[in-house]
Structure 1
């Protein structure tokens, strides 16, 4: 039986907890939830209590939680499944997590896929260009650092607004709740400082759309994903919680493997 500890029981973590308790992942059981703001029946007071009953810990609480707990989880010999992959745009944190010895560092693929073919293409030869355009409901992309014109365009405009066009590392810093797929794509391909990112707020959008483009020696690739937004957090896709559950399923010995 795979024992799962959960850090964070918010919009996404609560779905993961609910589905694990319902038996959605065969052979896995939720053993503890660490979230001081949520009163869960399996709530624990501290990380040590969570680790004492877990084979894998799912981080679903944001960048700060990964910084605070990630290294300790691995050093305890427990596998760490990271949802807030955008936090790894911080080079120091990425290095610390990679170098920690003990449990495995596992990255949740989240709301997009296709990493298998892109990694295969990189083995064939270099990828010269990788980019992602993410389009979300306009209100979900409003940030305090934006100027008044941009905020007004997102809040009351009638046309799509490009709010960011640059490299992945900066996208993750400016949109920490919205750029986890960007970070995963960067780590799987040519890195945070070469992957190009466009973030678009569309007042007509009701779903979250990601379009990945890549080209190199092996060929040219375009992958498109359109996901329902989380009803509790429109900045993320509802399917992300189920990506976590799929990852936990893959940690169990399967009858069939998709390689």
Structure 2
């Protein structure tokens, strides 16, 4: 059976995912269409309601607001949902709505990081004592609308590595919605928002976006370092993210055993 997939959003992530599905690059999966008011870049277009009728799986790749508005409706329709904008799940009400909206299953894309399977296993053995994720990016992508002029200028003009903000994962993921989906992903894998500290660093010399995750608990001590190339279309995300999404779609479509 071929998995029919609709993609919400046709930007740097969604556009790459939709094109690969359309071109047959994912075995046992095909593109039903793209939902995006800005257009589908030559790919088949669907209305949201038509996507729910046509698809077995909807991939959300349009940002946190789109997930909040459309995600519960996908699950309520009985259609499975693959979430890319994991940072939106800092909202407990949204997380509850997704989990209780209907018979559709919710899957989370790992996005720009790895090691989440090990964190989940370690947390299952016993609560983790401490988890930290340090994210380092070029300064322009970290400037936020809530910053006043002085803080925005401080970030933009950083001569070297500058710690922009440190705090609980829930707080940091909400404050940097386009840059810290990874903090939310780590917290969800750890099973505890409060145990995860997130740090955001602006570095003008950071040609690669880095995420350094450390954790300790009864199972042992862990350290993962990921260094990704930023997307040329959208430097707030990593170039690898759409391929992580495609890997997740391929796993869901696979007829044989896969590592998850």
Structure 2: segments with no counterpart, 5+ residues:
none
Q: Partner residue of 2:43?
A: 41
User: The residue matched to 2:50 in structure 1 has which SS?
Assistant: helix
Q: Partner residue of 1:169?
A: 170
In structure 2, C-alpha distance between the alignment counterparts of 1:258 and 1:106, rounded to whole Å: 15
In structure 1, C-alpha distance between the alignment counterparts of 2:193 and 2:187, rounded to whole Å: 5
Q: Partner residue of 2:198?
A: 197
Contact 1:154/1:203 (8 A) holds in 2 = no
Tell me whether 247-256 or 58-67 shows the greater mean CA deviation.
247-256
Whether 1:84 aligns to 2:85 is yes
In structure 2, C-alpha distance between the alignment counterparts of 1:78 and 1:28, rounded to whole Å: 15
Q: Partner residue of 1:134?
A: 135
Contact 1:166/1:197 (8 A) holds in 2 = yes
In structure 1, C-alpha distance between the alignment counterparts of 2:174 and 2:130, rounded to whole Å: 21
**Structure 2-normalised TM-score?**
0.95
Across the aligned residues of Structure 1 and Structure 2, the Cα RMSD in angstroms comes to 1.3
Cα deviation for residue 18 of structure 1 reads 1.3
User: The residue matched to 1:213 in structure 2 has which SS?
Assistant: strand
Matches within 5 A, 1:4-83: 4-39=5-40, 40-44=42-46, 46-83=47-84
Q: Deviations over 1:191-235 (max 9, x none)?
A: 223310000110011111000010011111000000010101111
Contact 2:143/2:152 (8 A) holds in 1 = yes
Tell me whether 204-213 or 120-129 shows the greater mean CA deviation.
120-129
Matches within 5 A, 1:243-258: 243-258=244-259
Matches within 5 A, 1:151-166: 151-166=152-167
Contact 1:3/1:30 (8 A) holds in 2 = yes
Cα deviation for residue 254 of structure 1 reads 4.1
In structure 1, C-alpha distance between the alignment counterparts of 2:254 and 2:17, rounded to whole Å: 20
In structure 2, C-alpha distance between the alignment counterparts of 1:16 and 1:73, rounded to whole Å: 19
In structure 1, C-alpha distance between the alignment counterparts of 2:92 and 2:254, rounded to whole Å: 33
In structure 2, C-alpha distance between the alignment counterparts of 1:150 and 1:243, rounded to whole Å: 33
Q: Deviations over 1:75-120 (max 9, x none)?
A: 1111000000100101111111111121101011111111221122
Structure 1: segments with no counterpart, 5+ residues:
none
In structure 1, C-alpha distance between the alignment counterparts of 2:206 and 2:154, rounded to whole Å: 14
Q: Partner residue of 1:222?
A: 223
Contact 1:57/1:73 (8 A) holds in 2 = yes
In structure 1, C-alpha distance between the alignment counterparts of 2:25 and 2:151, rounded to whole Å: 42
Contact 2:80/2:104 (8 A) holds in 1 = yes
Runs of 4+ in structure 1 over 6 Å off: none
Q: Kindly tell me the number of residue pairs found equivalent between the two proteins.
A: 258
**Structure 1-normalised TM-score?**
0.95
